[in-house]
Structure 1
Amino acid sequence: RYMTMEDGSVSMEREQLSQMASRQITFIDHLEKAMMRIENKTYGICRVTGNLIDKARLRAVPHATLSIEAKQTMNK
């Protein structure tokens, strides 16, 4: 049986929904880990340098575990 255009559209939509769900699950996992760091009093501390992560970075990426400097160093 050949796929119709409609079948292809449904398949593409399912794939997009699956990818979105996967990203949401990952984001929730990151937030849960951030909450654990809050409880452990390690939230906002860079896991590489041990220095405080800038508040602007934490506002933009609440689950950040690296300072901008550490992240840039790792990406080189």
Structure 2
Amino acid sequence: MTENKEKYTDAELQEFKEIILKKIERAEEDLRLIKSSYKNDSNNGTDDTSPTFKAFEEGSETMSKESNVQLAIRQEKFIRDLKNALLRIENKTYGICRVTGKLIKKERLKLVPHATLSIEAKNMQQ
């Protein structure tokens, strides 16, 4: 059925929109948690311990903050991609592969609702 259609119906687009809105809500909550963890400057009470241990602790804390910043950046990109998918739903271009022009399979969009490439196009990139 998907193979012959050129675009998804309004009802199908609404279904995708609900999936995307839920994912955005979850992703924004995750982003808040990530940001709060790297903005938290607790020193874990190492002030009165040996200087060597404190140096290790600070190094570990710096690495942890850097990885959390990277996670936050990836999460922000994910949210942006989801919001772009909402725009494609609004202008009725959602689910159309930007390389082949064919409809992306519904199963793929349910798993990766911000996808802009069909599996066929994705495989051509590799």
Q: TM-score, normalised by structure 2?
A: 0.56
Establish whether residue 37 from structure 1 lines up as the match of residue 105 from structure 2.
Answer: no
| Residue 55 (structure 2) aligns with | 4
Larger Cα-atom Rg? 2
What are the superposed Cα offsets for residues 4-35 of structure 1, whole Å, 9 maximum, x if unpaired?
10111110110111011001100011001101
Equivalent residue runs for 1:1-76 within 5 Å: 4-75=55-126
Cα displacement (A) at 1:50: 1.0
TM-score by length of 1: 0.90
Unaligned runs of 5+ in 2: 1-51
Q: Which amino acid aligns with 1:11?
A: T
Q: Aligned equivalents of 2:102 and 2:57: distance in 1? A: 54
Structure 1 partner of 2:4:
none
Q: Kindly report structure 1 stretches of 4+ aligned residues shifted beyond 6 Å.
A: none
Alpha-carbon RMSD across the aligned residues, in angstroms, is 1.4
Between the two proteins, what is the percent identity of the paired residues?
58
Equivalent pairs, count: 74
